[in-house]
Chains A and B, each alone.
Chain A
Amino acid sequence: DTGVSQNPRHKITKRGQNVTFRCDPISEHNRLYWYRQTLGQGPEFLTYFQNEAQLEKSRLLSDRFSAERPKGSFSTLEIQRTEQGDSAMYLCASSSTQGYQETQYFGPGTRLLVL
C-alpha cells in the first residue's frame, strides 16, 4: 500500500481552460474527500464520496467544478473555464468506515496555477 496518490502534482493553465485532477485512494478505503488549500490557509472541504456516491458538496464547489468517483475507486475533479481565483493546492484524502478509527489520510496534492 503506497498511500493516497494524486496526479498531476503541478498544473499550469491559462484562464478559461479546463483542467482535470486524479486521486487514487488507499485501496481498501471507501470514503474519498477533496479539499482546497490556498496560501496561508488551512484546507477547506469541497466534496466527499462514499463508494461511488457523492454525499456532500460545499458551497465552494461552484457549477464549474465537478467530481466523480465512477467505480468507487479513483476520483477525478474537473474545473471548467478556470479563473485566477482557482489557483490553489487541491488535496485528496481517503478513509475507511470499517472500525471506529476513521482517520483521513492525505495525498501530496495537486498545485494549480491559473495564468
Chain B
Amino acid sequence: AQTVTQSQPEMSVQEAETVTLSCTYDTSESDYYLFWYKQPPSRQMILVIRQEAYKQQNATENRFSVNFQKAAKSFSLKISDSQLGDAAMYFCAYRTGNEKLTFGTGTRLTIIP
C-alpha cells in the first residue's frame, strides 16, 4: 500500500523568510503524481502545486517550488518570501492514475510577523 509521511507536525517561519516542508512516500509504482495541498483555518483544501513523477524538472508556482527526488521518494515544498496568508495546514498527497489521493498527516505552518 502507498503511504505518505510528513515528519514535521508543526513549522514556523518569519514573514518574508523561506521555509521547507518535508514529505516522503512509499510506492512500487513508476508512474504517479504528487501534490501539495493547503488547508487554511476555514478548512477548504486548495491545491498549491503538483508534480508528475515522469518529469525530472521540479515544479514551480510563483513563490512555491518543490524538490522532487524520485530515487529517494522525497517531495519537499519550499515557500519563499513567506506571507501571513500562507499560514495553514499543508498536506502532501500521492496519486496513481485517475484515482484516489493518499494524504500525509499534515504540517501546520505558522507565520511570525
- A-side residues, CB < 8 A to B, are 31, 33, 35, 40-45, 48, 56, 58, 89, 91, 93, 95, 97, 101-109
Contact = CB atoms under 8 A, between A and B. Distances in A.
B105 A40 contact: yes
B3 to A, nearest CB: 11
B100 A45 contact: yes
Interface in B44-89: 44-47, 50
Contact of B98 (A41, A102, A106, A109): A102
Nearest to B97: A102
B21 to A, nearest CB: 13
Interface residues of B, number: 21
Nearest to B33: A102
Interface of B: 4, 35, 37, 42-47, 50, 91, 93, 98-106
A65 to B, nearest CB: 16
Question: Residue among B98, B99, B104 with the most chain A CB within 10 A?
Answer: B98
